Amino acid sequence: MVATLFGLEEVFFLEPSYEMLIDNVYTDQFLTLEGKEARVLIDEDESPIAMAVKADRWYAIALLHREPTDALIEALEGYDLEVYRTNRSDFTKATREYFSMLLEHDNKPALEEFSEQRMRNVVELIRQSFGRNLKGKTCLDVGCGTGLGSAALHKLGMNAAAYDLDPSLLSRGLTEGRLYHHETMLIDGTRANRYIEPVDFSLVLMAGKITEFNSFLWKQMIKEAFELSRSSLITVETEPEAKMVESWCPKGMKVKVFEDERDPFYDRWVILVKG
């Protein structure tokens, strides 16, 4: 998809992973490439979102999650430049697809852990929590693992923005088709707002085990989900964990904590947060 948007047969990002799209070091590397023929991709607001240059082959950088540097802007005059237009949403999907395909190819999948029954339970929990008019809506799948949450969202006709920091788990989900390449990101969930625009919903399945030792990490991940969505559904194993998550909820949000007896373990306690 990325190559097509550039009007090319193939193109290779300098950034090695989606997580690295916030790092300006790759802009600096781009400027060291020798080549005069270049293409810039701009979005509907005419903001540059990617640039490619032809060296021994076409190399690109993605500017979705970082601004073009002054040095890059100054260098534009030195290229034989062609401008291509797309919308930001399409390029975001294309970029996620590119790096997810690379991740799936380069990483051995984790062991399978999918439960069809648990997925059905999660489908019902999402419908019960968010309502029935969900088709076409987007939901974050925070710490998505091998994609059980995304599979449940897809069953409901929803779109996912799925992310995790474990490439082997993502590789398993992508291989099994539960995670879609154009929806999946290898990123640090504590910095999700660097990569994701706000959406309607967020889902955090089995956030735990949450302890005093690791709670600061879960707190930051879950607070990011609160900031990026209007409604959040979080599941944990135990009531003490649920009470801890409840204490992190922003003031002014409606919070409901309840036990879901459909699941004996993973998603036993539920925290539903609505703005």
Rounded CA-CA distance 90/97 in Å is 11
Rounded CA-CA distance 275/273 in Å is 7
Number of C-beta neighbours around residue 5 at 10 A: 20
Q: Residue ranges per domain, the chain?
A: 2-106, 116-274
Q: Are 210 and 244 in contact (CB under 8 A)?
A: yes
165: exposed, middle or buried (C-beta count within 10 Å: 0-12, 13-18, 19+)? middle
Taking the whole predicted model, whether its pTM rises above 0.75 is answered as: yes
Confidence (pLDDT) at 270: 97
Rounded CA-CA distance 84/141 in Å is 32
DSSP-based three-state secondary structure for 106: helix
Q: What is the pLDDT along the chain (275 residues), one digit of tens a residue?
A: 999 999 999 999 999 999 999 999 999 999 999 999 999 999 999 999 999 999 999 999 999 999 999 999 999 999 999 999 999 999 999 999 999 999 999 999 999 989 999 999 999 999 999 998 999 999 999 999 999 999 999 999 999 999 999 999 999 999 999 999 999 999 999 999 999 999 999 999 987 688 878 899 999 999 999 999 999 999 999 999 999 999 999 999 999 999 999 888 889 999 999 98
Confidence (pLDDT) at 172: 98
Confidence (pLDDT) at 212: 79
Q: Are 41 and 91 in contact (CB under 8 A)?
A: yes
38: β partners: 53, 81
Non-local CB neighbours of 269 within 8 Å, separated by 6+ positions: 235, 236, 237, 238, 239, 241, 242, 257, 258, 259, 260
Confidence (pLDDT) at 149: 98
- Nearest Cα neighbor of 107 from 146, 150, 142 is 146
Confidence (pLDDT) at 42: 97
Rounded CA-CA distance 72/14 in Å is 15
Confidence (pLDDT) at 34: 93
Confidence (pLDDT) at 132: 85
How many angstroms from the chain centroid is the CA of residue 265? 26
Confidence (pLDDT) at 196: 97
Which CATH number does 116-274 carry? 3.40.50.150
Rounded CA-CA distance 275/272 in Å is 10
Confidence (pLDDT) at 41: 98
Q: Which two three-digit tokens encode residue 160?
A: 């996912």
Q: Reading across the β-sheet that carries 229-236, which strands appear in turn? A: 184-186, 159-164, 138-142, 199-204, 229-236, 269-274, 254-259
Number of C-beta neighbours around residue 210 at 10 A: 20
How many angstroms from the chain centroid is the CA of residue 27? 22
